[in-house]
Chain A
């Protein structure tokens, strides 16, 4: 009799503590993905649909086998997804690098959202047809490795911050701020973009591109448009320009070399450069149109074109 009462009390205790624990961080595993029900509206199989604001954490790799499926679809604002060191893996593979890269086509994203304020960090996303990580405005990407996606590796909207991530061997751009005409004011800092099919970093109006490493990309290492600020990057062995600047831009303290285009290419005089080290590049050290701030080292010559 006594034992039964104690059992009852323990059950009540567990129930009470569970209720008081609140929502908690929601763990997501491959089994959860298969079963569905991670949030309301999440049907069995992929994608895992996150439809409620909150904090989510992978507790296993997620393996997507169909080329038409997305790994995680986020349909709510204010969601944080911590990959927790795990990977979201799709079926797409790529061979080669730069403009020679060849990826299997597919129709899914690794992580996809059209909602604001999504944060993704701490893991890997690989092998999706429409892109690795595609997010909207005011997003945050940190400490990710994004590889071998048929489209761009990391694609973000306005006001996003992309930090300390690697985007390599993706079919189009490594890191892209979009839509190209409308996107504004993203910060791309401390990343490595290597061997992507098009630009390493493709940044739109009013962006900051600082402290990144770009190499072996199929076109430009960095392509930064109007009003952008580009500093302290290393851009080498890309098939196009090391750095390509739009109007009203400034670029300093970069090292560029062995690129297929110019070390630094500027189409208009309002793009300006100074204190850069520019080594041998196929088209030349610097295109003729930009403004020289001075103190550049163009193949050992401080008088750049």
Chain B
């Protein structure tokens, strides 16, 4: 009998929801394990799920946080890859309207994913409905094929040297994608639509290419010194189609139907091969034309 009890105890210890490993070696995270804790050493039961160890992690269910105060996932280690695996990390915030008419309620709380580690990778899923940012990452991060929507602050907040590809940022109260305090960030083939703030807001030494910004409450795309913004479409935003500080290069962009300027360039930004029309304040303000633009 004693031997049987020992066997029962031993096997149930094996069944405890400590970090479960998928066949490919990645650590699985799901709602049951979020509630149980122990995903990594310092992960307490409930939210946030804390990832304190470098490695590769994969969601195996949606994660739904029970209150607005909590983060969904907190990453404290460098070099963490988090594959959302097609799942959604959802908070409780819901929104009505879009652009300047967006209403997501009031109060600030947790982020969907919050990383203080460098070189975080997040891919392949949805983060929505958080009372602060959808995703807030630190330096040298990478985000691919992620949708951030209906968050009460910024949709996707990036730091220095981050790369975002194929991101959909819609109907967030702050900017859709924000890297205004970062240098060296790159945004490629992404969409920012209906955010209350700026669609895509970059700082100096950054690049925005092949992105569409539409119907945001403020500017469609904003860049800083030595930034390059190429081949984008920015339309029907509440501010400027594109706003550039300092010495940015704006090339091959279409800016249409924005409430303020098509391209608003403070001081010495250069612009070429752009097409601008039907903007409330006019097509081009300041800047240095490097060649042909329309009109």
Contact = CB atoms under 8 A, between A and B. Distances in A.
A270 B191 contact: no
B214, B233, B292 pick with most chain A CB within 10 angstroms: B233
Contacts of B239: none
Nearest to A226: B256
A210 B254 contact: no
A257 B168 CA distance: 34
Contact of B191 (A9, A161, A252, A274): A161
Interface string A245-274: 001111011000000000000000111101
Interface string A280-305: 00000000000111100000000000
A163 B214 contact: no
Interface string A105-145: 00000000000010100000000000000000110101000
B149 A138 contact: yes
Contacts of B189: 161, 163, 187, 189, 208, 210
Contacts of A207: 212, 233
Interface SS, A side: mixed
B166 A20 contact: no
Interface string B112-129: 000000000000111010
B235 A140 contact: no
Given A140-B168, A142-B166, A229-B254, A25 B211 contact: no
A200 interface: no
A30 interface: no
B191, B193, B212 pick with most chain A CB within 10 angstroms: B212
Nearest to B294: A272
B60 A23 contact: yes
Contact of B11 (A10, A81, A189): A10
Given A16-B12, A53-B62, A140-B145, A227 B294 contact: no
Contacts of B14: 13
Interface SS, B side: mixed
A181 interface: no
B195 to A, nearest CB: 11
A119, A208, A231, A269 pick with most chain B CB within 10 angstroms: A208
Interface string A201-214: 00001111011000
B220 to A, nearest CB: 9
A159 B193 contact: yes
Contacts of B125: 55, 80
A273 B128 CA distance: 39
Contacts of B3: 2
Given A187-B212, A206-B214, A228-B233, A6 B292 contact: no
| B: contact size bracket | 35 or more
A19 interface: yes
Contact of B62 (A5, A23, A81): A23
Nearest to B216: A185
A37 interface: no
Contacts of A192: none
Interface string B52-79: 0000000111100000000000000000
* The 10 residue pairs across chains A and B that have the minimum distance between CB atoms: A80-B86, A22-B30, A227-B256, A55-B86, A206-B235, A185-B214, A22-B61, A248-B277, A272-B294, A293-B292
Interface of A: 2, 5-6, 9-10, 12-13, 16-17, 19-25, 53-57, 78, 80-82, 117, 119, 137-138, 140, 142, 158-161, 163, 184-187, 189, 205-208, 210-211, 226-229, 231-232, 247-250, 252-253, 269-272, 274-275, 291-294
